[in-house]
Amino acid sequence: MVKLSVNINKIATLRNARGGNTPDLLKMASDIQSYGADGITIHPRPDERHITYDDAKELPKVVYKEFNIEGNPIDKFVNLVCKIRPTQVTLVPDGVDAITSNSGWDTIKNKSFLKDVVSEFKKNEIRTSLFVDPNLKFIEAAKETGVDRIELYTESYATNFEKGNLQELNNYIESSLLANKLQLGINAGHDLNLQNIHYFTSNMPFLDEVSIGHAIISESLYLGIENVVNLYLQKMN
């Protein structure tokens, strides 16, 4: 069974837009797990525009399944993760002002740096994962950093799926087969949604986990708003 980790960044974005504590991030994290999700993912950024560092410190009180923290391993991030000691840390090479993650690591160019960072997390008994494109040479180099898993960046799959080009999945299958041969766990995420998730998970060998956030929150609006509008009408009349 492939595990589902729900990224709750967008819930924090909605809360921050109005101020106050609605929606309640901690309660949402707890409820999402009770609905069956296998874990919670957050991606705190330096400007704290959605998940704040205080959120990250409070969430262990309610996350009783897997807790995954993503981010660029700047010093502030490394210190935060080592203090919290989540189940997993996923290293992502996003810029300080990036709207969202848009590329995987060049694990050849950054091998020495990543090796040092991974070693620090391993000392704290935190499972480590690297965000990578479905590129075999980068997966091979990822193994040399000492990392436990890779997370395949799935934007290319999602874009091609929407165009009807299902052959793009072959790059991901080949990447997963190599990662498994190298004894690396395989995660995946970015732009996976209700339309493309079944084809992906049913055809990907050795897939451990997917992380999905934006699509889940967007789809929840569509699938839930009719019910909420009618509840308001019932209470008003």
Pairing assessment for the beta strands 66-71 and 3-7 based on DSSP bridges: unpaired
Chain centroid to Cα 24, Å, comes to: 20
Quick check: is 43 catalytic? yes
Q: Which of 43, 66, 151, 209 is catalytic?
A: 43
Q: Which of 50, 66, 70, 151 is catalytic?
A: 70
Quick check: is 151 catalytic? no
Under 8 Å between Cβ of 182 and 143: yes
How far, in Å, CA of 86 to CA of 30, rounded? Answer: 16
| C-alpha angle 106-100-223 in degrees, rounded to nearest 5 | 130
Query: What are residue 41's DSSP bridge partners?
Result: 7, 68
Quick check: is 190 catalytic? yes
Q: Which of 50, 66, 151, 190 is catalytic?
A: 190
How far, in Å, CA of 90 to CA of 2, rounded? Answer: 17
- Catalytic site residues? 43, 70, 190
